[in-house]
Structure 1
């Protein structure tokens, strides 16, 4: 279970990709919505299309899909806490 929780975070490259992708999706749906709404003279259709783009962008970018976890950080190994606390006491 702990392994599942550790893999539930996006890395920094994944966060940048998710942000870029969300902006592209929302902009694309916004332009399409404005053009379609203008063509049929219905502002409500513009809002609906933009809302659909927001929902799609949220579904694609908010969950940490595996494509956003391809570049994990290499953390340093955990130091022994007992040795560390002994060194601190010795220095005082």
Structure 2
């Protein structure tokens, strides 16, 4: 269970993971489309476009309150980032690979000279 102060700290930090973003998108997409269909049917039988608008607007407002702030339910799968490498360090290749790559580079250079 998250305390009130922890909840406020999470919302201020504004972190939402990739899985949470996808879930929030799916939730708003399906809720708004469903309310649009229900609102259309309700407005069609009542002969009032205002009912259709009210359904869609009301659902959009509720979904906005649920999906826009970074609630803890949207940050259940945090990404574990790798530690950055120093730029000064070069990746170490085995000597055999260096010799093979230099030999193939010489072969390609000789082949390109013969074609010209």
Question: In structure 2, what is the equivalent of residue 21 of structure 1?
Answer: 27
- How far 1:34 moved relative to its partner? 0.2
1:69 and 2:75 aligned: yes
Alpha-carbon displacement from aligned partner over 1:9-57 (angstroms, at most 9, x marks no partner): 1000000000000001101110110000011100111111110011111
Structure 1 gaps, min length 5:
none
1:12 and 2:18 aligned: yes
Question: In structure 2, what is the equivalent of residue 42 of structure 1?
Answer: 48
Provide the TM-score with structure 2 as the length reference.
0.61
**RMSD between aligned alpha carbons?**
2.1
Looking at structure 2, the residues matched to 28 and 60 of structure 1 have their Cα atoms a distance apart, in angstroms, of: 16
Question: In structure 2, what is the equivalent of residue 60 of structure 1?
Answer: 66
Looking at structure 2, the residues matched to 53 and 8 of structure 1 have their Cα atoms a distance apart, in angstroms, of: 23
Structure 2 gaps, min length 5:
1-8, 90-116
RCO higher in structure (CA 8 A, sep ≥6): 1
The runs of 4+ residues in structure 1 deviating greater than 4 Å are none
Looking at structure 1, the residues matched to 13 and 80 of structure 2 have their Cα atoms a distance apart, in angstroms, of: 13
Provide the TM-score with structure 1 as the length reference.
0.75
